[in-house]
Amino acid sequence: MDSSYLVQAIAQCETAVENRENTPEKWQEAFTDLGNLLQGMGQFDRAIIWHSLALESEASLGEVYCQLGELHLLEKNWSAALSCFENAREYLPNSAKVYSSLAQINGQLQNKEAEMNAWYRATEINPNLVNNTGYYKLAKALEENGKITEAIACYQRATEGKTGLANAFYDLGEIYQRQGKLDEAQRIYEKILEIEPTEARAQYKLGNIYLQRRSFEQAIDYFRQTIRNAPDFPWAYRDLVKTFLILGKWDEAISTCYAILNLVDEYPWVYSHLGNALREKGNLAEAAVNFQKTCAYRGWQQCVENEYFFTLDIFSHRIEIWTNYLQSLIGKERANALEVGFYQGMSACWLLDNILTGATAKLTCVDQNYAPKLKENITKTGSESKVSFLTGNSHELLAACTPNSFDLINLQDRCKLIDHSEKNTSLGWKLLKSGGIMIFNYYGWHNPGNVQQNPKIGIDRFLESVRGQWEELYQSPQALQLIIRKL
């Protein structure tokens, strides 16, 4: 039978139920006609439903709209089906069937957020509607859309029973860690180990939690368990070395670094940690060689070629970040950069080698005093003529600089007090050109023993006063970096 007759019959039914003043005889007749048509098409189950609806003295509009929606689905008329089930929702607000149908239709229409919300509501009404895998997929979608409370509920469902999904456990634990709910995260990872006692990833996560709590011996124990069960798990080695460095166990840190190089692979952070431990042991030349290797592995080969001598590395892990966001300044003539806080000049040397390569580019360096190796490293760049050194009180020196004159300002002052950081930001803002880039280091670092040592508070306080005049380019709690552009 031609489906055009079905479309016409559906339209007649919709007209009948839309006009609420119609007498029962009107919609009963439309329902009977549709039932007869479906019977003639061999759709006996559907025909029975419509004949049953025709016998009722009062239309059950929720059911009517559901059945009309189902018929539109047969015709793959997604928009019409969506309209019907949205109408049905008004009359059946607690129907899992209605919400699951809305989810499937929105999926066909690529309305991803509406699909996600409908599935979540359907599972609230009927928790058994989907299995663990379904809950996991829904949880991922909710998390990606910032609906963390709902995501947690779905991850919890995905971890239930004997078929609980391992990835759901880990994703749930990650959320708890980000929220600072370490007890909840710990229980998640311990539950994994109850199921699989040698699960290295869970052991590593527990080691991380104990490290966050500064329970160092427990952290070391879990990192070592991880390495025993997964000898090629690099991050367990990394955090084991980090823990040894915090505890001042230099020999253990050094031996672990060499074990990584012998057993696992070469990673930039291995050389950085090894350099830190060697420095503390007084082996400055060896430390400098390892910091050169760190930089070379991160793409800065000139660090080895020019034999820069650094015994401190607070910069190399930011090379990739800076490379991405400073592209517009590479080779730019008359590019003008400012650094506050100079140390041994690692970031300055990198800027001269990779960014401030234009013949007329300039770099101004401001600090209270300079490390002995600073000018020697700058000379090795071959670009010392581009560099101006200003020594003394940073606030006084910055106040004397020309306003709106710098394309790039890097703030990494040793003083991390709130008020000092706010003043640095204020002075730097006046010096930055429109379109210029400002980099804040130590953003997110704080001293647990001194609440005044929290640069982020001071930086945020000033930036709030000029809201709308800048845009965030990058922020990373791990790298302790905030990069903005002045509008």
Q: Is the pLDDT of residue 11 over 60?
A: yes
Helix (H) or strand (E) holding 409: strand 406-411
% the chain with pLDDT above 90: 59
Q: Is the pLDDT of residue 334 over 90?
A: yes
Question: Residue 22's pLDDT band (boundaries 50, 70, 90)?
Answer: low
| DSSP label of 436 | E
What is the pLDDT at residue 25?
57
Question: Residue 51's pLDDT band (boundaries 50, 70, 90)?
Answer: very low
What is the pLDDT at residue 129?
86
Average confidence (pLDDT) over 53-61: 60
CB atoms within 10 A of CB 40: 12
CA 260 to the chain's CA centroid: 28
Q: What are the beta bridge partners of residue 336?
A: 362
| DSSP label of 402 | P
Structure tokens at 121: 């509501």
Q: Domains in the chain, ordered, with CATH?
A: 325-486 (3.40.50.150)
d(CA 268, CA 421): 30
Read off the pLDDT of residues 212-239 as tens digits, 9 standing for 90 and up: 999 999 999 999 999 999 998 889 999 9
Return the exposure string of 169-208: e unless at least 16 CB atoms fall within 10 Å of the residue's CB, then b: bbbbbebbbeeeeeeebbebbeebbeeeeebbbbbbbbbb
Locus of tokens 């990872």: 189
Q: What is the CA radius of gyration of the chain?
A: 33
Q: What are phi and psi of 151, to 5 degrees?
A: -60, -45
CB atoms within 10 A of CB 275: 27
pTM equals 0.74
Average confidence (pLDDT) over 6-16: 64
Which of 47, 70, 49, 48 is CA-nearest to residue 60?
A: 49
Amino acid found at 142: L
What is the pLDDT at residue 6?
63
Four-CA torsion 377, 380, 384, 388, nearest 10 degrees: 0
What is the pLDDT at residue 55?
45
d(CA 183, CA 430): 45
Burial degree of 19 (CB within 10 A; 0-12, 13-18, 19+): exposed
Is residue 424 a contact partner of residue 413, using CB atoms and an 8 Å limit? yes
Read off the pLDDT of residues 100-153 as tens digits, 9 standing for 90 and up: 888 888 888 888 888 888 888 988 888 988 888 889 998 999 888 889 999 999
Read off the pLDDT of residues 77-89 as tens digits, 9 standing for 90 and up: 888 788 878 888 9
Question: Residue 29's pLDDT band (boundaries 50, 70, 90)?
Answer: low
Q: What are the beta bridge partners of residue 475?
A: 482
- Mean predicted lDDT score pLDDT of the chain: 87
Read off the pLDDT of residues 351-404 as tens digits, 9 standing for 90 and up: 999 999 999 999 999 998 888 889 999 999 999 999 999 999 999 999 999 999
Four-CA torsion 269, 273, 274, 277, nearest 10 degrees: 170
Least confident of 8-12, 70-74, 270-274, 316-320: 8-12
For residue 433, the SS3 value is: strand
Question: Residue 1's pLDDT band (boundaries 50, 70, 90)?
Answer: very low
| DSSP label of 411 | E
Q: What's the Cα-to-Cα distance from 18 to each of 84, 160, 221, 442, rounded to whole Å?
A: 11, 45, 70, 64
Question: Residue 52's pLDDT band (boundaries 50, 70, 90)?
Answer: low
Which of 447, 453, 455, 460 is CA-nearest to residue 480?
A: 455
Question: Residue 274's pLDDT band (boundaries 50, 70, 90)?
Answer: very high
Is residue 359 a contact partner of residue 335, using CB atoms and an 8 Å limit? no
